[in-house]
Structure 1
Amino acid sequence: MTEAPAVPQGDEIAPDSRFARLLSLDAAQVRCPFPAYADLRQGEPVVWSERLNAFVVSRYADIREVLKDPVTFSSAKASGSSSVTALAQHVLESPEFPDDVRRVAERRLRLSGSPVLLNADPPLHKRQRGLVSHAFTPRRVNEMEPLFQRITDELIDSFIDRGEAELIADFALPLPMTVIATILGVPPSMMHTFKRWSGAFTRGVGALDLPTAEVVDIFRAVGEFYDYFSEQLEVRRAAPADDLLTDLLQARIAGEQPLTEDEILQMLVQFLIGGNETTTNLIGGIMCHLLRDPELMAEVKADPGRIPTLVEEGLRLEAPTQGMFRTTTKDTEIAGRPVPEGSMVFLIYASGNRDACEFADPEQIKLHEARGHHLAFGRGEHVCIGANLARREAAIAISTLLNRLPGLAAGTDPERLDYHPTFILRGPRRLPITFRA
């Protein structure tokens, strides 16, 4: 009998490499990680990262093959070691954290025992997706377009007379935040709190080392989130409303159990991040490309019918979620390399999206080609359930900004922007713009 291959001893990622500096959140690499990904693609197809405790996969074809096999490659730990769940385990193992924070960490670990959608494998994933998918169909998204447009116009109205704005704080952040909050039935008076909760969950993603004070702040906000929505679910049971909370409580499929409260709470976290932070980053990323390239902006303004293609290219080039993890359920191979059972695998979607073996001129935006087979929303069974929502929000946002802000230009050098310190979620922290008031 052949002995099972062992996980490598020692890091195969050179400590001074660009990818190693990216994992350490070096500002220059976070701002532009794409040369680091190119280094990986040009080297070995699959390399072991001791820092991530995972095999790193960087080429499009290999990533696609992994995503086609959700049985061998489990999604149970899709965020890897850089997640709020992993932080919760750290809290319980460390005596310096106060009791209230430890209680929230215990609750998080208990809830994570009910995997949902992003972290669920078949057949559980199929049941959950069937129960909630009606809320994100193209028809339902089309019905929400007037809401998207109204919120978009109200946000632009708030700064259009100034002749300048900070596009992230004034627009790209509150737009999807207000949309998802409205869908969840959160009142406008709670938007600031809602954003604080969203930030708490995302700060734990793609950051391997956080100071104790920040971890405390994260878990206190996480606890508030769980308490609020547990209470709101009780309210909806007694008095159903026209919102997603009620839809989740009432979702039924013949022969299947309805969603549990633990499943719903975990889904709300995923909707919060997937429907909020990533759409903010998508809008910011696309606008960066337009502000860097006045000819591209002029072409899109002259032919708004190209905006859906622009959104797809923005997804491909910027990939708001740069990558996700999988865990092997048996000994297997990736690109001919043995990968033992129980190994973590980091799939760099953003690297595959710029693979020249799959996309001609991968660094360029192509408005006259269909390249929607990118990996930004994943592929296969776990393709993002909110993809239609994100596409329409972004398309309406970009179209309205270009229509309503004449003379739109960057207020600072787009090549020197600061990006959020994470190697999984990608987006600029600030994006100053100017225009004719």
Structure 2
Amino acid sequence: MSRHVNSREAVVTVEPDQSTPSRTPSCPTDPETAFAELVSLHPEAVRCPYPTFALLREQAPVHWSDALGAFVVSRHDDIVEVLRDPGIFSSRLQSGASSVTGLAQRLVDDTRTSAPLRAQALRRLEINRDPALLNADPPLHIRQRKLVSQAFTPRRVAQLEPEVRQVAGELLGALKSRSSFDFVTSYAMPLPMTIIARMLGVPEERLDDFKRWSDAFTQGVGANDLSEGQVSDLFESVDEFYDYFTDQIERRRVAAQDDLLTDLVTARLPGDRPLTVHEMLQMLVVFLVGGNETTTNLLTAMTHRLLSDAELEQRVRQDESLIPAFAEEMLRLESPVQGLFRTATCDAEVAGVPIPGGSMVWLAYAAGNRDEALTSAPDELHLDTERPLRHLAFGRGVHTCLGAAIARLEARVGIEMLLRHYPALRLAADAGLRMHRSFVLHGIASLPVVVGNLTAAGNTSLG
């Protein structure tokens, strides 16, 4: 692993309105060339991958990509077909070769890997031998989901709303004296991170570590060019996560607390064994990343869109009941998870294209979300439909995201509280829009905003 990445972020120019996908005039017209740009993390392709996805849907809806080493499925109904057949299309390696587990396997297979790094990688593979939730297939997945589903019932989620409001109010209150701030680091990141940390019983003084651990698990996803030093640092943070929560699991066995971690430790089904420590650790990774990174990206995308569209902002400020529909549309248009992998367990076929057994398949959720089969204007924001347009941002079928209701709650309350606290907010002038360096996890890494009169920016304050 010789190539080196200086940053997890790519810097591109802010565009005032991203309602219509656009790329530079040199955007490739060949599907493989265009998709290879995305996989290689070309900044413009990462910022706006949607012309590439449209090209795939039109010319090669089930496309073998040499750049990815996988079949790319880009049409909505074809993606759903694959998701509904976990027996043929396994979830065992959902994040692909660039996940922490995928990196670990590559290092173990590479004879040039140093002994310390190999040891770190082997620990990850040992823990991953007990797959959980995201990486588990039925019937194991069904058993695990039943064991933890009580923590995510509508009643339990509804009970979280006062706490989400409290955390949002505290974060916004701490910003009142500032004339500008980074929306991501000051609000979009700490809001969901604090909520999931509290659910897991993580004390406030460990929140910085909690965020660092989350970053470690997502750093390699969709980024194939990490240096050996970066991977070693990543694994060190992962080991800290494992060590901390292994200790906390044992503490919960001795003294139960009112938190999600205790729910995992005490979860039982009649006649069935409890969850293993490795299963719990894997679940905690899912809760950590799913309860933090993706919601942060959703909140940021919603805010960027509002502050880029004066008419939309005015409309949402005047009618807060539109916020849930707005969240659904931003999940569709700027899906925080652009796609996940499946592995063919046998020879199969998708839309008439043969898929040899053992092949990796990348389900491009973000492409399916903008399929013309859903609406005649798939790239536009739709707030007036009787029902929200279908989207794949939370998956479909047995692997529908367990925490989807919490993400929706945080998005609704987070935007509602933001607009109430700030009747005048605008994007900082001439700020570069930094995107996460990943073709899988899509999001704005930094969003500088300015507090004050919005008239000069072309927006209208309703305060």
Q: 1:121 is aligned with what amino acid? A: D
Please name the residue that 1:152 is paired with: 168
User: For 1:15 and 1:337, how far apart are their aligned partners in 2?
Assistant: 16
Q: Which moved more, 1:342-351 or 1:356-365?
A: 356-365
Question: 307, 312, 315: which is aligned to 1:299?
Answer: 315
Please name the residue that 1:165 is paired with: 181
Cα–Cα, structure 1 residues 69 and 235, in superposed 2: closer, same or farther, change >3 Å?
A: same
SS at match of 1:270: helix
Contact 2:332–2:391 at 8 Å: present in 1 too? Answer: yes
Please name the residue that 2:44 is paired with: 28
User: For 2:151 and 2:389, how far apart are their aligned partners in 1?
Assistant: 23
- For residues 89-168 of structure 1, the aligned pairs below 5 Å read 89-94=105-110, 99-168=115-184
Q: CA deviation at 1:146?
A: 1.0
User: For 1:433 and 1:21, how far apart are their aligned partners in 2?
Assistant: 30
Question: Is 1:402–2:419 an aligned residue pair?
Answer: yes
Cα–Cα, structure 1 residues 104 and 258, in superposed 2: closer, same or farther, change >3 Å?
A: same
SS at match of 2:261: helix
Contact 1:85–1:112 at 8 Å: present in 2 too? Answer: yes
User: For 2:82 and 2:224, how far apart are their aligned partners in 1?
Assistant: 24
Please name the residue that 1:180 is paired with: 196
Could you list the runs of 5+ residues in structure 2 that have no partner in the other structure? 1-28, 454-463
Q: 2:410 is aligned with what amino acid? A: E
SS at match of 1:17: helix
Question: Is 1:240–2:269 an aligned residue pair?
Answer: no
Question: 282, 286, 291: which is aligned to 1:275?
Answer: 291
Please name the residue that 1:265 is paired with: 281
Q: CA deviation at 1:372?
A: 4.6
Cα–Cα, structure 1 residues 153 and 99, in superposed 2: closer, same or farther, change >3 Å?
A: farther
Question: 52, 56, 75: which is aligned to 1:40?
Answer: 56
Post-superposition CA distance 1:96-122 (Å, at most 9, x none)? 655443322111101111111111111
User: For 1:16 and 1:412, how far apart are their aligned partners in 2?
Assistant: 36
Question: 240, 244, 247: which is aligned to 1:224?
Answer: 240
Please name the residue that 1:79 is paired with: 95
User: For 1:241 and 1:101, how far apart are their aligned partners in 2?
Assistant: 36
Cα–Cα, structure 1 residues 232 and 107, in superposed 2: closer, same or farther, change >3 Å?
A: same
Q: 1:35 is aligned with what amino acid? A: P
SS at match of 1:409: strand
SS at match of 1:162: coil
Contact 2:36–2:68 at 8 Å: present in 1 too? Answer: no
Contact 2:31–2:52 at 8 Å: present in 1 too? Answer: no
Q: 2:415 is aligned with what amino acid? A: I
Q: 2:232 is aligned with what amino acid? A: V
Q: 1:402 is aligned with what amino acid? A: L
Q: CA deviation at 1:227?
A: 0.4
Please name the residue that 1:208 is paired with: 224
Please name the residue that 2:406 is paired with: 389
Could you list the runs of 5+ residues in structure 1 that have no partner in the other structure? 1-12
Post-superposition CA distance 1:50-90 (Å, at most 9, x none)? 22211100111111111111111111111111210011123
User: For 1:43 and 1:198, how far apart are their aligned partners in 2?
Assistant: 37
Contact 1:52–1:81 at 8 Å: present in 2 too? Answer: no
* TM-score, structure 1 normalization: 0.94
Post-superposition CA distance 1:348-399 (Å, at most 9, x none)? 0000001112123111111111225210000011100000010001110011
User: For 1:15 and 1:221, how far apart are their aligned partners in 2?
Assistant: 37
Question: Is 1:373–2:361 an aligned residue pair?
Answer: no
User: For 2:141 and 2:31, how far apart are their aligned partners in 1?
Assistant: 38
* TM-score, structure 2 normalization: 0.89
Contact 2:369–2:391 at 8 Å: present in 1 too? Answer: yes
Q: 1:264 is aligned with what amino acid? A: M
Number of corresponding residues: 424
Q: Which moved more, 1:315-324 or 1:85-94?
A: 85-94
Q: 1:214 is aligned with what amino acid? A: Q
Q: CA RMSD in A?
A: 1.6
Q: 1:410 is aligned with what amino acid? A: L
Q: 2:448 is aligned with what amino acid? A: P
Cα–Cα, structure 1 residues 94 and 74, in superposed 2: closer, same or farther, change >3 Å?
A: closer
User: For 1:413 and 1:388, how far apart are their aligned partners in 2?
Assistant: 36
Contact 2:31–2:55 at 8 Å: present in 1 too? Answer: no
Identical residues among aligned pairs (%): 51
Please name the residue that 1:423 is paired with: 439
Post-superposition CA distance 1:121-171 (Å, at most 9, x none)? 110000000000111111111111111111111111111221221100101
Please name the residue that 2:269 is paired with: 253
Question: 301, 305, 308: which is aligned to 2:324?
Answer: 308
Contact 2:374–2:390 at 8 Å: present in 1 too? Answer: no
